[in-house]
Amino acid sequence: SQTIHQWPATLVQPVGSPLSLECTVEGTSNPNLYWYRQAAGRGLQLLFYSVGIGQISSEVPQNLSASRPQDRQFILSSKKLLLSDSGFYLCAWGGTDTQYFGPGTRLTVL
């Protein structure tokens, strides 16, 4: 069966510090991968998606970036965090029929 992992589970970072969130998927090959952000009281916002290694599509211009160095690994990064980057970050895999979500990372920027 397929499993999706995210880490860390929670993170508290100062403004201006770098960020690296990791997502890995097991049990499937060449999955479509997604990064979402969920702010308090708001719906999920698609940040990036990837259909293959090295292929990244950005949905929202911001100070975040994503990379896919391996087939089942998806990384969300930032060089300098902003207060507005606080939120719940979800990784997902799947396609148009269904998407399966990871457990999420709670990021607080102080």
Partner 1 sequence: KNQVEQSPQSLIILEGKNCTLQCNYTVSPFSNLRWYKQDTGRGPVSLTIMTFSENTKSNGRYTATLDADTKQSSLHITASQLSDSASYICVVSPYGNNRLAFGKGNQVVVIP
CB atoms within 10 A of CB 20: 11
The C-alpha atoms of residue 79 and residue 77 are separated, in whole angstroms, by 7
Q: Which is nearer to partner 1, 29 or 42 (CB)?
A: 42
DSSP conformation letters of 17-43: --EEEEEEEES-SS--EEEEEE-TTS-
The C-alpha atoms of residue 40 and residue 52 are separated, in whole angstroms, by 31
Q: How far is the CB of 48 from partner 1 (least distance, A)?
A: 11
Site string for partner 1, 26-65 (x = CB under 8 A): ------x-x------xxxx-x--x---------x------
Q: Which is nearer to partner 1, 73 or 100 (CB)?
A: 100
Residues that bind partner 1 (CB under 8 A): 32, 34, 41-44, 46, 49, 59, 88, 90, 92, 95-104, 106
